[in-house]
Every structure is written in structure tokens, then in C-alpha cells.
């Protein structure tokens, strides 16, 4: 399979050693470089390939909130469970969402009829095959997964499916980056921008963030060598006291992004005033919902869903960890009640979360 040959090139040990040496030569001793990789895909690549251990001690990755499963608040899980229990709905979702506990401490996987999806299109056939049941797709993800949901809604409309609705939890990367940097306690020197999200939204949306906070953003590919090269670019900016948006992932990402996908999303979705994030709280303009024209497919308009509260455990340090102020092992719950088997906080929920990664792969 030629695709994997392409992957091997981005995991070449000799090139990795070369990049590690270049980074070691570039860093100024006595200065800390706290670099947040925003996206869970990057967190996974860093941990799985051991990238952190190839770098000097004063270059430290801070695992960001870019894991949609992690940041989904308990209240939204409880809303989905409510739809299953009160309306007998078939819940459809992606696999790793099933383990996430709601504020009620129950998880979706415990509902009676939950279907695991590999593609949102499968929802259409589930709805067709169960005309007497309500079918709810728990839509989740950053800008990458939003266009497929838009396609799904349009297909459902075209096929006249009247038993299908979407519990929309699509969130926006730039809003979350802004919220993290806007915190006066934020301890982040530079950000590695996401790969796939940037393929959709392009480079432009990051410029206002860089201008406002003077924090460099380097858009990086998902492979370990991409991450290392982007890290080197970020360190060079910091040493030169620059703050720009740079694009390491030029083989996929361009200035304007995917215009067709953007138009599709704009046609189907509109901005929410505010949305709750596990670990970050309520963030203005940080999520999408269906436009009025598609209200019949919006589970929140279709059903009367009571408002649930997302109570997070008192001593959970996720908010500080997500802002780079604390490391997972500094949380009292880490390994004591909060483990990948029994996650309590956002960062332990998915394998891409900062705490789950630290637990599984070592600090």
C-alpha cells in the first residue's frame, strides 16, 4: 500500500535525530519553551512516538483541549441519555464517545440502544430501518467533522427522513485557542495548530489570535517529524521575538482552506452564543447549531430537553492542565480515582487527553 510508504518517510529515525539536534542547538539555555499542541491527534503522535523524550528538558509540550470527546461536558451526555430514556431514541455516536461519563456518572455505552458509527452516513440507514423509532446522532468534533454532519443533514432532508435528528456539539478551534490565551494565568509560549482542522479552515482564522496575544502559531502535520519540525519553527520565532502564523503542513493546508466545505457548513449551521466545554467552562461563540431552516433535524428544538448541570469533581485540575499551568501528575485525582478505566476529568476521558496520555505512556 503506497499510502504507508508515505507515512514511513515521516517517521524516519535519522531525520528525527537530525531535527532533535537542530532543536537542541536552537534553544537558549535557561529559557523555558512551553508549546501547546492544540489537537489530540498531535498529543497522540507525541506520546506514541516518544517525541517529548527526544527534546531538551526546557522544551515542554502542553497537551491542549483539541480532543472533542474530552471537552464534551457532562450535561450534553446526560441530555443524550435523557433522549434515549424518555423518547426511546436510538443513539448513534463514534466509538470513543461511549465511555465518557455524564454529570450523572453514567455513560452513553450504558444506554439500551447505542450504535457505534464509523461514518455519519450509517445514521441514514439506521433511521430508514427503524421508521417507528427516533434516531439521534450525537454530532461531535471540531471543524473537521462538521462538514460530514452538514452533508448528513442535507441528505436526511432530501430523503424525507422524519425520525432523524442531530444533537449538535460541533465546536470551533479558534474560539478555544482564544479562551486559553485570554486567561491571565495562561503559561503558553507558542501553539502548534491542528492538521485536519486547518485543512478545512485554512491559515487565515489564526491571524487575529496571533495579533491579539503575540503568541506564535505553527500549523503542523500529524506525523512525528511534522511535529518536530513545527516545534523547531516555533522555537525560532520565540528566539527572534516574532509572533506569526506559520504553516509547516503546506502539503495539505493553504491560506483559505476548503471553501466548499466552509460554504456547506455555513449553509447548515450558525454560531451559538455560548457553549460549555468540559474543563474550560462556558466560551462565547465557540460552537455551532443547526440553522432555523433545519430545525426539524435539531434534537434540541425537536425534544424538550431539561437543562442538565455539568458538575466537575472539585479537586480536578483539568482547567489548569488545559492552560499549561499544571502537569497531570500534579492533580490529586490523577491515578487516585481518575484513571482511563474510570475517568473523572476531561483530560482522562479519551486516549488523546493529556492525563490519559501521561498515564498510558509515562510523563
Partner 1 sequence: MSRVEAAHGAGGRAMGRLIDELFRQAFDNPLLNAGDDFAAFEVPAGRMVMSTDAHVITPLTFPGGDIGALSVHGTVNDVAMSGARPLYLSAAFILEEGFSLEALRVIVESMARAAREAGVSIVTGDTKVVPRGKGDGVYITTTGVGVLGEGINISGSRARAGDRILISGPIAEHGVAVLAAREGLALGGELRSDSAALNGLVEVMLAGLDNPDRLHCLRDPTRGGVAAALNEMAAQSGVGMRIDEALVPLRTEVAAACELLGLEPLQVANEGRLIAICEPESADGLLAAMRAHPLGEQAAIIGEVVGDDPGRVALRTRLGAERWLEPPHGEPLPRIC
Which residues of this chain interact with partner 1, rule CB under 8 A? 1, 3-4, 7, 11, 13, 16-17, 39-41, 44, 47-54, 67-69, 94-99, 118, 140-142, 144-145, 196, 224, 339-341, 350-352, 359-362
Cβ-based nearer residue to partner 1, 116 or 159 = 116
Cβ-based nearer residue to partner 1, 86 or 110 = 110
Nearest CA among 348, 328, 347, 330 for reference residue 339: 348
Q: Work out the angle between the directed axes of helices 354-361 and 40-49 (0-180°, nearest 10).
A: 10
Work out how close the CB of 341 gets to partner 1 at its nearest, in angstroms, rounded to a whole number.
6
- Helix, strand, coil share (%) of the chain residues, nearest 5: 45, 20, 35
Burial environment of residue 122 by CB neighbours within 10 A (0 to 12, 13 to 18, 19 or more): middle
CB 274 within 8 A of CB 282: yes
Cβ-based nearer residue to partner 1, 110 or 360 = 360
Rounded to whole angstroms, how far apart are CA atoms 232 and 224?
12
Cβ-based nearer residue to partner 1, 123 or 238 = 123
**247-280: burial string, b at 16+ Cβ within 10 Å, e else:** bbbeeebeeebbeebbebbeebbeebeebbbbbb
Cβ-based nearer residue to partner 1, 7 or 240 = 7
Cβ-based nearer residue to partner 1, 127 or 199 = 199
CB 169 within 8 A of CB 287: yes
Amino acid at each position: 500500500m503506497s499510502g504507508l510508504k508515505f507515512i514511513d518517510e515521516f517517521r524516519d529515525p535519522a531525520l528525527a535525530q537530525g531535527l532533535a539536534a537542530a532543536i537542541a542547538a536552537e534553544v537558549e539555555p535557561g529559557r523555558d519553551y512551553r508549546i501547546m499542541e492544540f489537537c489530540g491527534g498531535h498529543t497522540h503522535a507525541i506520546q506514541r512516538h516518544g517525541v517529548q523524550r527526544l527534546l531538551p528538558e526546557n522544551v515542554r509540550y502542553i497537551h491542549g483541549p483539541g480532543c472533542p470527546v474530552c471537552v464534551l461536558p457532562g450535561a450534553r451526555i446526560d441530555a443524550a441519555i435523557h433522549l434515549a430514556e424518555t423518547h426511546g431514541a436510538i443513539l448513534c455516536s463514534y466509538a470513543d464517545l461511549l465511555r465518557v461519563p455524564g454529570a450523572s456518572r453514567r455513560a452513553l455505552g450504558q444506554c439500551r440502544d447505542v450504535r457505534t458509527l464509523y461514518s455519519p452516513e450509517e445514521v441514514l440507514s439506521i433511521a430508514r430501518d427503524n421508521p417507528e423509532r427516533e434516531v439521534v446522532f450525537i454530532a461531535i468534533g471540531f471543524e473537521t467533522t462538521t462538514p460530514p454532519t452538514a452533508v448528513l443533514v442535507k441528505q436526511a432532508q432530501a430523503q424525507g427522513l422524519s425520525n432523524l435528528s442531530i444533537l449538535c456539539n460541533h465546536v470551533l478551534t479558534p474560539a478555544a485557542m482564544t479562551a486559553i490565551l485570554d486567561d491571565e494565568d495562561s503559561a503558553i509560549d507558542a501553539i502548534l495548530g491542528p492538521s485536519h482542522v486547518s485543512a478545512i479552515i485554512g491559515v487565515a482564522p489564526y491571524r487575529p489570535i496571533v495579533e491579539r496575544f503575540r503568541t506564535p502559531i505553527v500549523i503542523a502535520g500529524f506525523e512525528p517529524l511534522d511535529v518536530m519540525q513545527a516545534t523547531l519553527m516555533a522555537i525560532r520565532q520565540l528566539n527572534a521575538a516574532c509572533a506569526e502564523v506559520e504553516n509547516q503542513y503546506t502539503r495539505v493546508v493553504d491560506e483559505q482552506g476548503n471553501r466548499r466545505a466552509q460554504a456547506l457548513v455555513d449553509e447548515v449551521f450558525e454560531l451559538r452564543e455560548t457553549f460549555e466545554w468540559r474543563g474550560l467552562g462556558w466560551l462565547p461563540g465557540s460552537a455551532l447549531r443547526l440553522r432555523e431552516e433545519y430545525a426539524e433535524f435539531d434534537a434540541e428544538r425537536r425534544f424538550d430537553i431539561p437543562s442538565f448541570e455539568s458538575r466537575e469533581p472539585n479537586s480536578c485540575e483539568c482547567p489548569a492542565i488545559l492552560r499549561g499551568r499544571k502537569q497531570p501528575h500534579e492533580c490529586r485525582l490523577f491515578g487516585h480515582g481518575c484513571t482511563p478505566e474510570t475517568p473523572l476529568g476531561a483530560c482522562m476521558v479519551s486516549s488523546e487527553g493529556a492525563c490519559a496520555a501521561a498515564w498510558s505512556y509515562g510523563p
